[in-house]
Amino acid sequence: MNRSFYILILTSAIAFSGCSKFLDKKPQTEIRTSAFWQTEDDIKAAIAGMYSGMQDVCSTNFLFWGDSRSDNFVDNPKYGNVVYCTNGLTSAINGSDWSPLYTVIGRANDLLKHIPQVKALQPGIDPKAINYYLSEARNVRAYCYFQLVKVWGDAPLWTIPFDSIGIDPYKTRIPVNVLLDSLIIPDLLMALSLSDPNQKTVWEANLGLTYAMLIDICMWRHDNAGAISWYDKLVASKRYSLEPTATWKNLFIAPNKTVENIWSIYWDWTTDGGAGISGQIGAGNTNSTHKISDVIWNYFSATANSKDIRGAQSIDLKVKAHDKTLKYYAVNLDAKGAQIYPANNQANVYFPIYRFADMILLRAEAANDLNDRTTALTLLNQVHTRAGLTAYADTTLRDSATMGNAILKERQYEFFAEGRRFFDLVRNGVVAKVMDPLIKIRKPDAPGFAIDMRTILWPLSITVLNANPKLVQNQPYN
Amino acid sequence: MKKILCICLSFLCAAVLYAQAPAITVQGKVVSPSGEPLAGVSILVKSRNTGGATGPDGSFRISVPPNSTLVVSYTGYLSKEIRLGATDRHDLSIALTESKNDLDQVIVVGYGTRKKSDVTGSITSISEKSIQDVPAANLSQALQGQGAGIDIQKKNGNSKPGQSPTILIRGARSVKAGNDPLIVIDGIPFQGDINDVNQDDISSVEVLKDASSTAIYGSRGANGVILVTTRRGRAGAKPTVTYSGYAGFSKWLGEYPMMNGSQYLQLKKWATFLGNPGTYTSPDDPALLTVALAPEERQGVAMGRSTDWQKLVYKSGVSTNHQLGVSGGTDNTQYALGAGYYSETGIYPGQSFQRYTLKLSVDQKLGNYVKIGLSSLNTYAVTKGPSVNPMGQALRASPLVSPYDSTGKLINGFLPGSANQVWNPLADFLPGASVEKGSRLGTFSTFYVEVSPVKGLKYRFNGGAEVRSGTYGNFYARNTTNNLGVMSTAEDSSFQSTSYTLENLIIYDKTIAQKHKINFTGLYSFQNYTPQGTDFKYSNLLSDQAQYFNPAFGSNFTGRGNLLPWAIISYMGRINYSYNDKYLLTLTMRSDGSSRLAPGNKYHVFPSAAAAWNIIKESFMYSVRAVSNLKLRASYGSVGNPAIDPYQTLGALTNVPYNYGSTVTTGLYPTSVANPNLSWEYTATANIGVDFGFFQNRLSGSIELYHAWTKDMIMPVTPPATSGIPNQILTNIGKSENKGVELHIAAEIIQARNSHQVGWSADVNFFINRGQITQLLPTINTTVDGRPADLANKWFVGRPIGSIYDYQRIGIWQATPADSAAAKALGQTITGTKSVIGQAKIADRNGNKVIDAGDQYIIGTPQPKWEGGTTQRITYRNFDFTIVAFARIGGMISSAMFGAGFVNTMQANYNNLNVAYWTPNNPTNAWPKANSAQTNPTNLSTFGYFDATFLKIRSMSLGYSIPAGLAKKWGMKSVRFYATAKDPFILFSPYRNKYHGLDPEASGPKSSTDPTVTLNLDTPPSWSMLFGLNVTF
């Protein structure tokens, strides 16, 4: 019996010897940060991850930030929250959370940190490809920071990924001009030098986006000359032209088939779920939270404007509740001729971030600001006539104020529900002038903008504020 | 022969000693309560050291002085005293009753056993009989109400077949790492589902509660340890065949109190009238009806229809249980075999649980030094419909419409009315429309070799292997309540896990100078666990017939898989020292190394100490005759909670499919940041206990006082959004505390001297636990009642986990000028469809003249004032009656039925709970107004909080055992018939009695982000009536 006892002791002794490895388990079905960033495919996967983050940026915020507060929509009192259209934002409101933008910024920062490492590991990768990846990350990062600037003003600056708990996650807000001058514009200029002019895919943040953003930023800062010079470079690149009238709808349902879209965000509900905007402006299974404003409805439904091909292709004139925008859906009619809307969890919406018509009208705005009404008129008429309308005669738009108004109106009808209108009003300094009379009608006791122009900016979400003690709320919000 | 000789000898001695009074002869038999003969029972003359013992057939024959008293005692049974007269007795029949608290009883303490009188820690021992008192579906249900400090509640009130409840031992201490106790079966940690353990295979359950008893499980001991011992054969027992089985039906405990047709019509009228101010003249405006009601509903009104959807949906359930066992043994070989089948169908079609078990154990002596043994538990379990929740559709369907169309065909679509959102609930019952099934196969085998080379030294090797595999699938056709006509969906997943545990134990016993007893236990063990799983989902199937069995017919695939192994290496040493059996000391130390922790941080040590004083053994206690046991215990130690997921200390990337318009790419992005410092939570517990026994232990029990401090509680730090990292970073930063009192009493209230008398025994436990969070993240800058409060996670310093934080409802805003003015002053809307008139009146608690988030307060906690359980057993002749009950008094639950808006929207788009809602004619302060203009009443959640008090009768059983003689004639040792009512009554529940809720028993957080204890709106609870038979051959 003693023998078997010793055998057992021996067995356990053997078991002892293997114990240092025993506790070393490596994950096989999870990807660790340290095991990633080895090949070009890893870069591609991370780029896809970055674009996927852009979907969350756009899903519902696209409308909240650019349209909900303008005269394009009113909140549906039964299903929506009647504060967007009456300048009653609070820190608990949907759209006040900037996390999706910082998520994308984090992913871009991760790319910018690791792409050079992969390049060093894999000298065989085409340097052109490496540079293009870097330019995509810079473009997307610049776009996100510019959105932050437009929506909230000052914002914390992150240029490195938060990938170690040793990094202090709490940062203070940096002034708008510092963000623009030390990050956004340098990013774009860097992207310009790195980008590959042959890359033209509409779903990617390519050279076209760099130009478009530079034009947009110059106009935002009222730098007309700058905008014009970037516009000239964009035209010289011969990348884009206006989509013909007949295929105008393709800008929204097939942007990859157009000559006009600069950057669109792809959506595939089978992998991404439904695009959030559908529940806001038109889904088959739920009531919209936003109704089309009378300004838009009256213009498009007027018999005089029936020639404007954008009306029936933008809003559903057959729906009496005024709550269905069909711009983003292909024509799909039932037996009675009514549009069939997808369920909100099955809606694909290809968000048009920038398109060439936008650039043309911005250039027109710059020309008008410089009292060059001839150029302004030519450019305005390019978009105006594309909509099936008769060109403006130079006699009708005789002074720069009338011209400015016409351009602004054209932009409103052309870019309805494309996240443009509110920023157009801000850029032209007419938010209070346009919105306050409407707000008075919508909610008589609402204060409007003029009383405190700081409300042009959004409040910081309460969750964002609570998560970072160094943040200060935008005034006058609490 | 030897024994008889002994008895004769002692008789001779006795005869010599008491020659002056002629001795009398006493003859008889000692039997168990079921009439089985007991061998080896000691029969002594009181105050004299003389007597004898029973033979193999339970009979005895001794000579004693006249007028003396016999003390009949046997391990595991209550001692009995019998006064004798001056004459011979030849037919003395002594029936002993089982004791729950015998001091010589040996109990399992983890890595060994101890005599109960030698135990120093806090351990609740639950006997086989108690486990079988309630014909429960699984072990955790069977333990409900059986021990002090053990709180077992249905998870979110889930009453479906095959669901396992939540077990909390001495309260909850962790917010993120889980509070589930460790389950150890036959010495080996069990990774499976407790549902798969057949309670008929169990001979005892010990629950280790204080740090001294759990410290030997080190990093896994903080939530308590449940030690399960399975049945084994006994040495010298003849082969015994047992059969036990029952069958019965179950019924729903009640219907949810929904409106009938006419009540619903009234609600519709009022909701439409009040929701469209100024549109209609009165609720009875004929113009209103055409708007408010669908044509089919108007037809329903005309013909007086009132469909009771719940009646159409529920059915009677059936429970069946068959258990067959064979056991026996010789001095060298013991064996036990068991086969079981349990089946339960729920009261909702498609919900059921079935379990097949096979158990085998063999113990074999090899010579004088070696013993080996094997035990194997095998289970196959099938659960159907575990996540089907039909209530949303069944309760919301309009009572004014029929499930059938005008031609009598079942409507397979949205029901008329109900805003095109309620699918006919009966459509789910169409064959093959709604299928959900999970099956698990598990084998759990333990093996040991015990070698005793020299006296006092024992080496034991324990090996355990557990292999589990299972599949889960669901399929919902397009036209079901799940998919609402959109498209069919299917899911198919499978998992497999292997676990092995190897333990080397050295046990050394030594007694020095007869007074110093030393016992040393040393352990080196390791466990490796490898779970693996895959899961696929797809939709839009080409053929419904394929259900979830062939994904080739589907599209829109998503899939994932995981392999998450972990391993643990442990060293443990324990010293038990006792001096003269009076002074006891236990010291333990365990060191655990875990693969879950980051390198350099993998090992931690868990020490504990305990001391006990057997006061009863002191000489000064000899004279206190009423006291038969008195022991004082104290312990202190530290244990851990290991619930860190494997690889949580590493940073990870998450994948996302991304489509570039033509090509689908798998995108990746960082979601979490590595925290190499992440560690276990540590709980230190101080425990003081007193064990007592009076009147020959006819009244016995224990009192425990404890205080547990948990530190390094894992709390999530949410990095600010600007970091771009969405996942929370777990850090060891919080603290919590639990303290409490536990009392357990077992009493033989009436001792039956023979089978013709009434016997009554009772077992009562009573316990109080007070838990609180004591520290949160230092960055939390919000407070409630002046103490830090994490409002987002609802964690409050000074309050228990799961406290309810909401507005204070002080009534309903009435349509009076005073109320209107008051509401307006608080910034409330008093006109239009969003007017607060008729809505919850919220108190402006912070007095800032506006209703805002700062007016919320802590309304209540899920923690009961006290809890308790009792088992009462009454025997009379061949009848036995047992009643098991438990109570939770105080505490608060959040009821999804009233407060979550699904069936209490007041919108009248769907059927509603039948509550007396506010109207201008019914200015109630209890319920808000009917209002078609609002999806949910304002602050509806404030209507959902209720006192959770209840007393539940778990089971009432009446049994009849046929007389032993008759059974023998039939070739059986014993036969017992019984009838049991399971869960027949819920008493003292205001939720049930006053508000017509069904069952307030609920545990567990609402979700991973909301710790509020919530009672979900789900398949209603049931009660059942069972008829059973136990036979021993």
Residues A70 and A174 in one domain: yes
* Domain carrying residue A97: 37-76+87-178+446-478
Backbone angles phi, psi at B258, to 5 degrees: -90, 165
Task: Mark whether A476 and A399 lie in a shared domain.
Answer: no
Query: How far is it, in rounded angstroms, from Cα B1016 to Cα B996?
Result: 15
Has residue A192 been placed in a domain? no
Assigned domain for A16 exists: no
Instruction: Tell if the CB–CB gap between B567 and A23 is shorter than 8 Å.
Output: yes
**Is the Cα torsion angle A3, A7, A13, A16 positive or negative in sign?**
negative
What would the pLDDT profile of B292-335 be if each residue is shown by its tens digit?
A: 898 899 999 999 999 999 999 999 999 999 999 999 988 899 99
Could you give the ipTM of this predicted complex? 0.77
Distance CA B115, CA B127 (A): 15
Same domain for A379 and A464? Answer: no
Interface of B with A in 467-496 (CB under 8 A): 486
Residue of A nearest to B371 (CA): A1
- C-beta atoms of B453 and A5 within 8 A: yes
Mean pLDDT along residues B138-162 = 88
Question: Would you tell me which residues 1000-1019 of chain B have a C-beta closer than 8 angstroms to some C-beta of chain A?
Answer: none
* A17 reaches B (C-beta below 8 A): no
Task: Answer whether A202 sits within 8 Å of B661, measured CB to CB.
Answer: yes
In a domain, A10, yes or no: no
Nearest partner of A309 among A235, A241, A245, A369, judged by Cα: A245
Whether residues A415 and A454 share a domain: the answer is no
User: Looking at residue B721, what DSSP letter applies?
Assistant: G
Distance in angstroms (rounded) separating the CA atoms of residues A128 and A126: 5
Decide if A224 is inside a domain.
no
Q: What's A314's domain CATH number?
A: 1.25.40.900
Instruction: Look at A30 and B647 and tell me if their CB atoms are within 8 Å.
Output: yes
Cα–Cα distance, B159 to B351 (Å, whole number): 11
Scanning B235-254 for CB atoms below 8 A from A yields: none
Q: Which two tokens stand for residue B970?
A: 């039939």
Angle between helices A207-220 and A224-236 (to 10 degrees): 160
Residues 285-324 of A with CB under 8 A from B: none
Measured in angstroms, the CA of A413 and the nearest CA of chain B are apart by 27
Q: B786 is written with which tokens? A: 């002046």
Claim to verify: residue A255 and residue A170 sit in the same structural domain: no
B595·A24 Cβ contact <8 A: yes
The nearest CA of chain B is from the CA of A49 a distance in Å of: 4
Give B146-155 pLDDT, tens digit per residue: 899 999 998 8
Q: Does A104 touch chain B (CB under 8 A)?
A: yes
pLDDT digits (tens, 9 = 90+) for B555-564: 888 888 888 8
Q: Are residues A249 and A167 in the same domain?
A: no
Q: Nearest residue on chain B to A203, judged by CA atoms? A: B660
Same domain, A50 and A157: yes
* Among B147, B157, B158, B156, CA closest to B181: B147
Both A402 and A357 in one domain: the answer is: yes
B106-239: same fold as B2-95?
no
**Closest to A31 (Cβ–Cβ): which among B568, B652, B723?**
B652
Of the candidates B601, B710, B708, B592, the residue with the CA atom closest to the CA atom of residue B650: B601
Q: A32 and B667: CB-CB below 8 Å?
A: no
- Assess if residue A227 is contained within a domain: no
Q: What's the rounded mean pLDDT across residues A103-127?
A: 93
Per-residue pLDDT band for A3 (boundaries 50, 70, 90) equals low
Residues 6+ positions from B257 with CB-CB distance below 8 Å: B913, B914, B915, B996
| A29·B562 Cβ contact <8 A | yes
Determine the residue among A1, A5, A9, A25 to mutate to test chain B binding: the one whose Cβ has the most chain B Cβ atoms within 10 Å: A25
Dist CA B641 CA B639 (whole Å): 7
Record the pTM: 0.82
Contacting residues of B for A24, CB less than 8 Å apart: 595, 599
Q: Which residues of chain A make contact with B501, given a CB cutoff of 8 A?
A: none
Does residue B551 belong to the interface with chain A, where contact is any CB pair within 8 Å? no
- Interchain proximity B661–A256, CB inside 8 Å: yes
Residues B21-60: pLDDT tens digits?
A: 678 888 888 887 766 778 878 888 877 767 788 887 788 8
A332–chain B Cβ distance below 8 A for any pair:
no
DSSP assignment string, B112-161: SEEEGGG--S-EEEEEHHHHHHS--SSHHHHTTTSSTTEEEE-BTT--ST
A270 to chain B: closest CA residue:
B556
User: CA–CA separation, B773 vs B795, rounded Å?
Assistant: 7
Domain ranges of chain B: 2-95, 106-239, 431-564
Please give the residue that has the higher pLDDT: either B93 or B588: B588
Arithmetic mean of pLDDT, B175-187: 89
How would you class B673 by CB atoms within 10 Å of its CB: exposed for 0-12, middle for 13-18, buried for 19 or more? buried
C-alpha–C-alpha distance, residues B244 and B321, integer Å = 8
Same domain for A403 and A472, yes or no, is no
Q: Which amino acid is at B353?
A: F
A102 Cβ under 8 Å from any chain B Cβ: yes
Six-digit token pair at B657?
């499919």
* CATH tag for B2-95 (out of 2.102.10.10, 3.40.50.2300, 2.60.40.1120, 3.20.20.150): 2.60.40.1120
Cα B795 to chain centroid distance, Å, stands at 24
HEC profile of A83-98: CCCCCCCCCCCCCCCC
Contact status, residue B385 vs residue B346, Cβ threshold 8 Å: yes
Determine what percent of chain A is predicted with pLDDT higher than 90: 73
Contacts of B646 in chain A (CB under 8 A): 25, 27
Distance from CA of B99 to the nearest CA of A (A): 39
The answer, yes or no, to whether residue A379 has pLDDT greater than 70, is yes
Q: Is the Cβ–Cβ distance between B138 and B194 less than 8 Å?
A: yes
Tell me the average pLDDT across B236-258. Answer: 92
Task: Let me know if residue A202 belongs to a domain.
Answer: no
Whether residue A216 is contained in a domain is answered as no
Note the pLDDT tens digit of each residue in A325-373: 999 999 999 888 889 998 888 888 999 999 999 999 999 999 999 999 9
Answer yes or no: do A460 and A345 share one domain. no
Beta carbons of B543 and B552 less than 8 angstroms apart: no
One domain for residues A92 and A128: yes
pLDDT in tens, A182-210: 999 999 999 999 999 999 999 999 999 99
User: Does B850 touch chain A if contact means CB atoms closer than 8 Å?
Assistant: no
* CB crowding A64-100: b at 16 or more within 10 Å, else e: bbbbbbbbbbbbbebbbbbbbbbbbbebebebbbbbb
Instruction: Please answer yes or no on whether B668 and A12 come within 8 Å at the CB atom.
Output: no
Q: What is the pLDDT of residue B157?
A: 85
Confidence of residue A447 (pLDDT cuts 50, 70, 90): confident
Residue reference for tokens 């778990």: B954
Binary contact (A45, B666; C-beta < 8 A): yes
Residue at A371 is within a domain: yes
Q: B783 — contact with chain A (CB < 8 Å)?
A: no
Q: Do B668 and A42 touch (CB under 8 A)?
A: yes
Residue tagged 């001729």 (tokens): A337
In this structure, the answer to whether residues A42 and A104 fall within a common structural domain is yes
How many domains is chain A partitioned into structurally? 2
Q: What is the pLDDT of residue B3?
A: 45
Look up residue B220 and give its DSSP letter.
Answer: G
Could you say which of A9, A29, A49 has the minimum Cβ distance to residue B667?
A49
So what CATH class is B106-239? Answer: mainly beta
Q: Is A160 an interface residue toward B (CB < 8 Å)?
A: no
CA distance A404 to chain B (A): 37
Question: Average pLDDT in the B821-845 region?
Answer: 89
